[in-house]
Structures are given as structure tokens and as C-alpha cells.
């Protein structure tokens, strides 16, 4: 039974689960540098109508265990978490699933064609310099074509992959964390400038026993227990080399490897607290790219990357003839392509008012398995994009056409359907005025996601006749960034949207709970609104007392519109809350500071049928943190931070029966040599 539960996790994006993937940023768009430079100077989050940015200072203040914990702080993002450290974490953005978004790290796509999703809990945060969430448009410059044509994306930029400035010959980062439930981690990285190039090396180690106490309601009684088989251990290391061949040519190559060994605690079930399954994961990636400039106005990038993912599931007490279940899956993905962007110069004032971009990308992916009954699929993909950005006075037009071709073949059975699609994107946006930064934006995007290998080919479940899942997104956004010269600042961002998802891929039980059918029968209408307000106030004669706040709220209605005769018609989609919000306040004086963070989520339903039996209670979680930063000698600093998480010991869960940790602490020490 636990094995079938594991498969349900692997297929979680199928059964109306709304997850999102991730992208790691290369460089911000040239035309946005004016606004970004302002934000860097005042160390406050930047919100634009197209993407949202969290910079290193805010990421460091949160001291999150993984990227999933950070992303839930952004409006419109909904986290699904199956446990603490190492537990599966995915997100949805405006009710769109993970396969509608792209994952890129430092400008390179990270893909898993087996499951179609990435576990965010396995992406570390110690080395992050920036996170950007793109809503309707890519959050990055010269990012891969596959990322630009996705419905949403999250972009991450790391310390190790960026070229050092001319003044820096050596940069070092190191950190250590110790916390509740046997948690310990150590990270170290060094980046050395060598003439016109650089090399960097990095490594990270994390471990936790995961044995936290929890409570479960049994009728009128509350029972207490300890989470078991929840241990976690991972190792992550690699190296990067970069070189500037001449002024406008830069090349990089990197290698990364990670290994994860973790227990699978499963769902909390009354009278059954035993679990002994293991999941061992090994990932490797090789990435390389060259950026260059053609003539006076065209910037281009050629890139290639390969990822391998090995996943072994082991159940030593499985009820079969062998008395155990031991299956290994091996997924390989290779991508290569180019992307270029140019601008038309008509005077310095309008330098970036008119620009164009184009690119193409090809990819191969396959899946091998030790299970002889599993398929042997091979996928070939080609995608392309051509677009333009035009400025007319105070109006900006953005638009592109993208195309995708996917060829499916299966050496062990029936092939999946081939896919040919052309998808448009259109946007109209106002320019900021002279006295404050404010923009309106209306936009439309059509995107699709192809079925994963599990959805197409999994034993007795997969359906090779599946069509791509398609999404039509309509949105309006407004952002305002007024500021005066007395140390006061406020930024406001709001948005309204409507998403129509057709050919929704869902899993439907047929003969019994363990025999399912994957079908294109779902239609989802999702609409909602978001608002975010960030403030910063500098007090005192020397403006050394800084009070900052960040408040956001999201409203989401995600309705099942598949069948008017079905009992779930117009019911809220499973695990999509109607209300989420964050309220964060921080105070700092010179080298000392503190922060209070609050995350709120309303009730959800574990199934699409919105009744009391399927209801999951909402919750509010509060964290407290204090930090002190020591600065000594030249370019060196040590930051000590103490956190109390879930300070009021709230018993809560994102997913039914996957109870999260109660009150816990985390102590972190970060060293930087710049």
C-alpha cells in the first residue's frame, strides 16, 4: 500500500494537484536595470507587473531550509509540502500546475520528464543571491527558449555561477546551521578570479533525523506520537569555470552532483505508525554556455546542458513473492539551443523602446527502469520563439509567437501522441511617470504542458492517448513605487487574473483505489486577485534605525468545470486555498536586527468534493528571528542568526495526514569574504 502511495506522490500533479516548477536566473533584462538599481540601493523587495524579485538580503533574513519555504512568501504562490526537511515540496502559481512552469538554474533548464516536477526541498538556499518569479513573462535575460514559452517561471541566481567584479580577486562564502530534530548543515564556496576568468568550487552537506512530535485527533481524543522513518541526508558539490575571451564574449562550464538518502514516513494513520521505505536519489548536471554581442545592438547566448536523475525506491516488507520491492528509475535530459535579443537605437532616450528577440531549442529525454514491465520511452523536442518589444510614447507592447514540436516513441509498447503547437503572448504596459514608478499591464498568454512519462506509460495507469494540457491566461497588473528623500518608501503591487485550463490531465479511480485511469477530462476556471505592500522607514538623525514591512494577500477561486452533472462541478480544486497571506515586519539598528514573519492559509479540501469530510483546517504560522552581523578586517563579515519557527507550536498540515513540525529552532552562522 505504501508503494501505491509513493506512486500517488509521483503522480500528484495529475490528480488536480497544482504544482509549479522553477527557473534560476541568468541576468535581469537590460531594459529593467533602472528600476532594479534603485531597489538594490534601498534593500527592499522589487515588485513589477511582470515579475517579483527577492534579493540576497531578504533571502538571508528568512534563513529558509529550502526554496519552497521562500516562494510561499510571494503572493499568488501556493505551497504543497509533504513534511519537514527533505519532504516533497511543490508550488502552484495562480492555480497553474508545475508542468506549466519552467525550472532554470543560473540560466540552465532543470527538467524531469518522468514526473514533470522538481522537489523544491532539495534546492538549497545558502548560495542564493536572487529569486525572481515571472508571471506571464520570463524573469530573466537570454534564458532558454523552453523557459520563455512556459506559463510561469521562478528564476534563481547563485553565488558560484556569476562572474566576479573587477575589484574582487577572491570571494568566499561559508555557513553552518544547527537546529531541532537533529538538523545540521554545512556549506562552503570559494570563487577565485584568474586573469580574465574565474573558477569556483562549492559543497553542501545536510542531515536530520526528522523525529518530531505531533498530535492527531481521534474522535474526541488527541493522541501524541513521534514522526518515524523521517531521516534525511544529502550531499551537494560541484565546480564552475568561466572566461572572458574578449570584451563581449563570456563562456562558462559547470558540473554539479547531489545525492539524497531519505526515509519515507508516509501519511499519519491511526494505529499504524510503522514505516520502513527508503528513497535514494542521485542527480548530475553538466552546463555550458557562451554569451556574446553581435555588432552594436544584438546580444546572444548559446547554451547546452545535460541532467541525469536516478531514483531508487526500496520497501523491505512489501507483500509480494520476493518479500520486498526494489525499483530504480533513471531519467536523462539533454537540451541545447540559442537565444538572441537586439534593440533599435533611436537616440539615447529611446534606446530600449524597440527590441526584438528570437531563438530555438532542441531536447532529448528518456527513461529506463529496472521494472521490466515499465515502458522504455524516448522524447524529442524542438521549440522556437520570435518576438518584439515596441515603445510608443508611454505605452509598451510586448508579444511573441512560440512553437513546440514533441515526438514520442516507446521501444516497449505503444507510442504517446506527437504534439505540434503554436502559442501566442501579448502584453500592453504603461511606462512610469517622472515623479514615481508606476505601471499598468494587461496581457494574454497561451501555453501548454506535455504529459509526463508517468502519465503516459506508468504500469496499468498511463494513457498513451493523452493530449497536452492547455492554459489560457488573462491578467491585469498594477505596480507603484513612490519614494521621497526622507528615508521613507512604499511600493504597491496588485493584480487580477483569469485562467482557463482545458484538457486537464487527471487521475480517476476505476475498479478500485489502486487501479486508476489517466484522462483528459478536466476543465478548470481559476480567477483571483493579489495585492502586496512593502514599506521602508529610516529613522534617527543618521537614519540607522530601519523599520520594514511586507504584507501580501492572495484570493484564488479555482473551480472544477469539467462536468455539470458531476457532484464536484464548480467546487474548489483540491489543495487550492481561497485565501493566503504574509505579514512580515523587521527592525534593524546598525548591526543588530530582528524579524517577525507570519504565513496564513485558509481551509482547503483534500478532494474536489468540497464537503466537511474532505476539509483541511487553515492555519497561521509565526516565526521570530534575531541577528547580529560582525564586520572585521577588510571585506569580511560574520552573521549570527537565531530563529524560533512555528513559535506558537501550531499543529498543521499542507497535505492531509502529513503533519508538519511543531515549535523548533534554527541557529545559523554565515561568513563572507568579499
Are 65 and 72 in contact, with CB atoms under 8 Å apart? no
Rounded Cα gap, residues 529 and 92, in angstroms: 15
287's CB contacts (< 8 A; 6+ apart) are 106, 108, 252, 253, 254, 256, 303, 304, 305
- What's the CA gap between 394 and 559, in Å, rounded? 37
Distance, CA of 620 to CA of 186 (rounded, Å): 30
Establish how many alpha carbons lie within 13 A of residue 484's alpha carbon, considering only the half-sphere containing its beta carbon.
5
Instruction: Measure the CA–CA gap between 294 and 283, rounded to whole angstroms.
Output: 36
Q: Are 328 and 370 in contact (CB under 8 A)?
A: yes
Dihedral, CA of residue 120, residue 125, residue 129 and residue 132, to nearest 10: 20
The pair phi, psi for residue 99, each rounded to 5°, is: -70, -10
E strand or H helix at 549:
strand 545-560
pLDDT at 674: 83
State phi, psi for 69 to the nearest 5 degrees: -65, -30
Determine the Cα–Cα distance for residues 102 and 120; give it in Å rounded to an integer.
13
| pTM of the predicted structure, to 2 decimals | 0.87
117, exposed or middle or buried, with CB in 10 Å at 0-12, 13-18, 19+? buried
CA distances from 443 to 358, 396, 592 (A): 20, 12, 43
How many Å apart are CA 57 and CA 481, to the nearest integer?
19
CA distance between the termini of the chain? 53
What integer pLDDT is reported at residue 599 of this predicted model?
96
- How far apart CA 143 and CA 339 sit, in angstroms, is 7
Pairing, β 653-655 against β 128-135: unpaired
What value, to the nearest 5°, has the Cα angle with vertex 388 and ends 387 and 392?
155
CA dist., res. 384 & res. 403, Å (int): 5
Q: Phi and psi for 630 in degrees, rounded to 5?
A: -95, 130
Among residues 403, 394, 452, which one has the least CA distance to residue 423? 403
Query: In order along the chain (674 residues), what is the average pLDDT of each group of 10 residues?
Result: 44 41 38 32 44 86 89 89 80 84 86 86 89 80 89 90 85 95 95 93 95 78 83 94 90 96 81 77 96 88 95 88 89 95 63 80 95 89 94 87 95 92 93 70 93 87 90 92 71 93 77 61 92 90 90 95 91 93 95 95 92 93 95 88 95 88 95 91
The DSSP bridge pattern shows strands 101-105 and 152-158 to be parallel
Taking alpha carbons only, the member of 263, 269, 177 closest to residue 214 is 269
Domains by residue range for the chain, with CATH: 2-673 (2.40.170.20)
Distance in angstroms (rounded) separating the CA atoms of residues 136 and 311: 32
Q: What is the DSSP string of 12-26?
A: TTTTT---B-----S
Confidence at residue 191, expressed as pLDDT on a 0 to 100 scale? 96
d(CA 230, CA 282): 19
- The predicted pLDDT at position 244 comes to 93
Amino acid at each position: 500500500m505504501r508503494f501505491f502511495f509513493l506512486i500517488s506522490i509521483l503522480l500528484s500533479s495529475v490528480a488536480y494537484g497544482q504544482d509549479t516548477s522553477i527557473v534560476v536566473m541568468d541576468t535581469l533584462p537590460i531594459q529593467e536595470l533602472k528600476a532594479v538599481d534603485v531597489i538594490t540601493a534601498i534593500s527592499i523587495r522589487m515588485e513589477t507587473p511582470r515579475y517579483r524579485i527577492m534579493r540576497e538580503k531578504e533571502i538571508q533574513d528568512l534563513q529558509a531550509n529550502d526554496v519552497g519555504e521562500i516562494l510561499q512568501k510571494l503572493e499568488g504562490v501556493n505551497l504543497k509540502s509533504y513534511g519537514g526537511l527533505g519532504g516533497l515540496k511543490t508550488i502552484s502559481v495562480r492555480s497553474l500546475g508545475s508542468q506549466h512552469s519552467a525550472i532554470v538554474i543560473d540560466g540552465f533548464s532543470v527538467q524531469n520528464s518522468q514526473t514533470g516536477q522538481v522537489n523544491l526541498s532539495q534546492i538549497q538556499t545558502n548560495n542564493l543571491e536572487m529569486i525572481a518569479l515571472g508571471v506571464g513573462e520570463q524573469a530573466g535575460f537570454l534564458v532558454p527558449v523552453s523557459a520563455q514559452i512556459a506559463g510561469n517561471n521562478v528564476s534563481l541566481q547563485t553565488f558560484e555561477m556569476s562572474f566576479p567584479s573587477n575589484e574582487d580577486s577572491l570571494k568566499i562564502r561559508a555557513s553552518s546551521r544547527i537546529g531541532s530534530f537533529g538538523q545540521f548543515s554545512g556549506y562552503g564556496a570559494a570563487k577565485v578570479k584568474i586573469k580574465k576568468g574565474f573558477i569556483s568550487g562549492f559543497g553542501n552537506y545536510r542531515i536530520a533525523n526528522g523525529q518530531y512530535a505531533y498530535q492527531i485527533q481521534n474522535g474526541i481524543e488527541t493522541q501524541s506520537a513521534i514522526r518515524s522513518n523521517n531521516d534525511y541526508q544529502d550531499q551537494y558539490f560541484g565546480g564552475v569555470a568561466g572566461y572572458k575571451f574578449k570584451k563581449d564574449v563570456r563562456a562558462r562550464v559547470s558540473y554539479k552532483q547531489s545525492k539524497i538518502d531519505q526515509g519515507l514516513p508516509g501519511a499519519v494513520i491511526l494505529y499504524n505508525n510503522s514505516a520502513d521505505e527508503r528513497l535514494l536519489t542521485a542527480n548530475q548536471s553538466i552546463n555550458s554556455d557562451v554569451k556574446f554581442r553581435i555588432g552594436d545592438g544584438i546580444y546572444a547566448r548559446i547554451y547546452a546542458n545535460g541532467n541525469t536523475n536516478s531514483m531508487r525506491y526500496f520497501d523491505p516488507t512489501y507483500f509480494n513473492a520476493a518479500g520486498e520491492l526494489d525499483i530504480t528509475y533513471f531519467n536523462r535530459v539533454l537540451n541545447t539551443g540559442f537565444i538572441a535579443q537586439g534593440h533599435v537605437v533611436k537616440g539615447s532616450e529611446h534606446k530600449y523602446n524597440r527590441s526584438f528577440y528570437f531563438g530555438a531549442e532542441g531536447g532529448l529525454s528518456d527513461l529506463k527502469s529496472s521494472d521490466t514491465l515499465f515502458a522504455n520511452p524516448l522524447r524529442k523536442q524542438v521549440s522556437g520563439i520570435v518576438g518584439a518589444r515596441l515603445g510608443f510614447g508611454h505605452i509598451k507592447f510586448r508579444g511573441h509567437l512560440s512553437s513546440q514540436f514533441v515526438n514520442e516513441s516507446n521501444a516497449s509498447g505503444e507510442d504517446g501522441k506527437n504534439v505540434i503547437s503554436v502559442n501566442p503572448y501579448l502584453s500592453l504596459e504603461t511606462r512610469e511617470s517622472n515623479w514615481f514608478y508606476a505601471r499598468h499591464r494587461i496581457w494574454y498568454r497561451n501555453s501548454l504542458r506535455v504529459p509526463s512519462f508517468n502519465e503516459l506509460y506508468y504500469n496499468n495507469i498511463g494513457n498513451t492517448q493523452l493530449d497536452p494540457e492547455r492554459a489560457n491566461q488573462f491578467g491585469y497588473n498594477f505596480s507603484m513605487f513612490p519614494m521621497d528623500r526622507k528615508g521613507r518608501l512604499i511600493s504597491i503591487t496588485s493584480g487580477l487574473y483569469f485562467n482557463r485550463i482545458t484538457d486537464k490531465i487527471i487521475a480517476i479511480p476505476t475498479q478500485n483505489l489502486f487501479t486508476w485511469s489517466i484522462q483528459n477530462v478536466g476543465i478548470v476556471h481559476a480567477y483571483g486577485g493579489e495585492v502586496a505592500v512593502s514599506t521602508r522607514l529610516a529613522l534617527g538623525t543618521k537614519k540607522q534605525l530601519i523599520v520594514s514591512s511586507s504584507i501580501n494577500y492572495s484570493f484564488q477561486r479555482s473551480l472544477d468545470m469539467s462536468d455539470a452533472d458531476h457532484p464536484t462541478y464548480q467546487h474548489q480544486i483540491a489543495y487550492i486555498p481561497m485565501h493566503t497571506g504574509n505579514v512580515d515586519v523587521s527592525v534593524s539598528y546598525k548591526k543588530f536586527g530582528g524579524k517577525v514573519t507570519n504565513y496564513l492559509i485558509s481551509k482547503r479540501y483534500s478532494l474536489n468534493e468540497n464537503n466537511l469530510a474532505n476539509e483541511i483546517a487553515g492555519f497561521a504560522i509565526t516565526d521570530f528571528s534575531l541577528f547580529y552581523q560582525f564586520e572585521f578586517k577588510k571585506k569580511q563579515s560574520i552573521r549570527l542568526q537565531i530563529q524560533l519557527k512555528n513559535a506558537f507550536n501550531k499543529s498543521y498540515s499542507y497535505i492531509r495526514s502529513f503533519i508538519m513540525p511543531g515549535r523548533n529552532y534554527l541557529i545559523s552562522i554565515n561568513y563572507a569574504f568579499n
